[in-house]
Amino acid sequence: MKIFKTRPQKSIERVFCIKRLDNVFDKRRIRKNVSECSFQIWYLKFTEAGGRQMNSNRHIVKMINAKWQEGKFLGVGLDIEFRKIPRVVIDDDGKVNVCKTMVDYATQIIWATHDIVCVYLINHYFYWAKGIPGILALKEIISRIHAIAPNVPILLNNSEGDIGNSNLAIIEYAFGELDLDGITINPWFGQEALQPFLNLPQKGIVVVCRTSNFGSEEFQCLKISDHESVSLFKTVAWRVSQFWNKNGNCALQFGVRSCADISLVREIVPDMPIFVQGVGPQSKTGTIEEDDVREIIVAGRHNTILCSARGVIFSPDPRKEATRLHHLISKYRAAELAAANA
């Protein structure tokens, strides 16, 4: 194989694949029993019917608490956009090896960050976009994380969720097929539909609360009619804390531009973990700035994980940038703790 610094021009091929899962329970039996069983019993029937068992040795709450004890509050997103990879692998036949290119680049990032991260986050759409080679790369990259950083949890970061048996398929995919430790979910479907996720005490369930895209206020900031001063996103936080978090494994997700809203929600959920996404590219300046980190830490206080994907993995020196962000988080966490204890 040869390594080229520039990618040769080629037509874009879209490859769609439906993978046949072995040992999956009979769909007719599900249709018959779904109305008779609670979601919890339904899920137990699913696992007993031959779906791949989840790894019972990994408990995300314990894993993240261990990382916090080590002073690690950085999340790195392995969102490998193929077009941004600086070097590609060319096979002997002259074709780009998409799978190996993605795996090699992600492996470099894992080695560069594994000793300072709290969690890895993966958006699988960047892999699905490359068809079968991308899907194969996704599974291999997860295996590399397990080998290089076995004590670092991995989160599927796609705001998943649906209704009924679709959620069971998502669970089988994320926690069985991919062997991940947590997932972000969209609260729009309500607790009843999302209960299959909430029934998994060893898995992290990160609920999208407030995003940083410019159009997010259209719905997220709507005032609840019964309480005109309460926005929808605050209601989401309150309901997650009061009704969804029975297993103590829920967290909330915010966008990096939502510092003021994070402060408001911290009054509702003083101890729940908060994942702040998009540190760097989605910040005010588009880069990882010290003021942004300080504002997030002040707003989120303790139990806040700062997550960056593009800002770290496609920087000129991912190790240097991740280390800089890690030190900034440590610096302002220490200052915040000192102020709280004063």
**Is 223 contained in some domain?**
yes
Q: For residue 302, what pLDDT is reported?
A: 82
Domain count, the chain: 1
- What residues have CB less than 8 Å from 242, skipping those under 6 apart? none
Give the CATH number, domain containing residue 131: 3.20.20.70
Q: How far apart are CA 110 and CA 150, in angstroms?
A: 11
Residue 214 confidence (pLDDT): 61
Domain assignment present for residue 35? The answer is no
pLDDT for position 222 = 60
Residue 32 is assigned to a structural domain of this protein: no
Task: With respect to residue 60, please indicate whether it lies within any of the assigned structural domains.
Answer: no
On whether residue 179 sits in a domain, the answer given is: yes
Asked if residue 54 is part of any domain, the answer here is: no
pLDDT tens for the chain, residues 1 to 342: 545 444 443 333 332 232 332 333 333 333 334 333 444 444 554 444 334 455 667 899 999 999 999 999 999 999 999 999 999 999 999 999 999 999 999 999 999 999 999 999 999 999 999 999 999 999 999 999 999 999 999 999 988 888 878 999 999 999 999 999 999 999 988 888 999 999 999 999 999 987 665 665 545 556 676 655 677 788 889 999 999 999 999 999 988 767 778 888 888 888 899 999 877 654 555 556 788 888 888 887 888 999 999 989 999 999 999 999 999 999 988 888 887 776
205 assigned to some structural domain: yes
In-domain check, residue 38: no
Q: Which domain holds residue 153?
A: 2-6+66-341
pLDDT for res 54: 57
pTM listed for this prediction: 0.81
